[in-house]
């Protein structure tokens, strides 16, 4: 969680009404308010930041499609290497087929009807190709 957030310019340009400078000020003000609530775990009414963060984790999407698990992992370089070694060993034994793609950032797309409800859903993928890049690697290994 950082402030000011990346994408302030995009958010300001997407808003309607007023000059671009005013829209930037509105976005910065709102995000500072939200950042303060989240950073210092300040509840407002029924909204409890700590509960919301827990729900984001619980409601983040990872699925098994076509008999394959697809997920984004946030881990150290050492753990990533260890995971890849384990997968390579399993692939050599014919147990799994896999594709991996490492990157420095992830992107989360959210569907949040209301922060007051627990039914928000979050889709996470790599910011530099993610699942598509891993699938490409998987396909090249299968050939």
- Specify whether 119 is located in the same domain as 70: yes
Tell me, yes or no, whether 13 lies in a domain: yes
Tell me, yes or no, whether 47 lies in a domain: no
d(CA 95, CA 123): 28
Q: Is 72 exposed, middle or buried (0-12, 13-18, 19+ CB in 10 A)?
A: buried
Tell me, yes or no, whether 28 lies in a domain: yes
| pLDDT the model gives residue 62 | 60
What's the domain range around 22? Answer: 1-40
| pLDDT the model gives residue 63 | 59
Tell me, yes or no, whether 46 lies in a domain: no
- Specify whether 105 is located in the same domain as 68: yes
Tens digit of each residue's pLDDT, the chain (143 residues): 789 998 899 999 999 999 999 999 999 999 999 999 999 999 999 899 999 999 888 887 665 556 667 777 888 999 999 999 999 999 999 998 888 888 888 888 888 888 888 888 888 877 777 777 787 878 887 66
| Residue 22, both tokens | 């005013």
- Specify whether 108 is located in the same domain as 135: yes
Q: Considering the entire predicted model, what is its pTM? A: 0.61
- Specify whether 78 is located in the same domain as 123: yes
- Structural domain total, the chain: 2
Distances (CA, A) of 97 to 68, 73, 121, 125, 132: 9, 18, 29, 20, 15
| Residue 50, both tokens | 């700590």
């Amino acid at each position: 969680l950082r402030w000011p957030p990346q994408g302030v310019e995009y958010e300001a340009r997407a808003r309607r009404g007023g000059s671009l400078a005013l829209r930037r000020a509105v976005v910065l003000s709102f995000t500072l308010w939200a950042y303060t609530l989240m950073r210092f775990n300040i509840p407002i009414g029924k909204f409890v930041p700590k509960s919301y963060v827990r729900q984001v984790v619980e409601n983040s999407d990872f699925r098994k499609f076509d008999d394959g698990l697809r997920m984004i992992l946030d881990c150290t370089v050492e753990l990533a290497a260890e995971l890849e070694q384990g997968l390579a060993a399993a692939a050599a034994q014919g147990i799994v087929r896999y594709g991996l793609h490492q990157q420095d950032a992830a992107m989360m797309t959210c569907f949040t009807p209301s922060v007051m409800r627990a039914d928000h859903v979050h889709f996470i993928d790599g910011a530099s190709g993610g699942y598509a890049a891993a699938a490409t690697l998987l396909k090249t290994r299968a050939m």
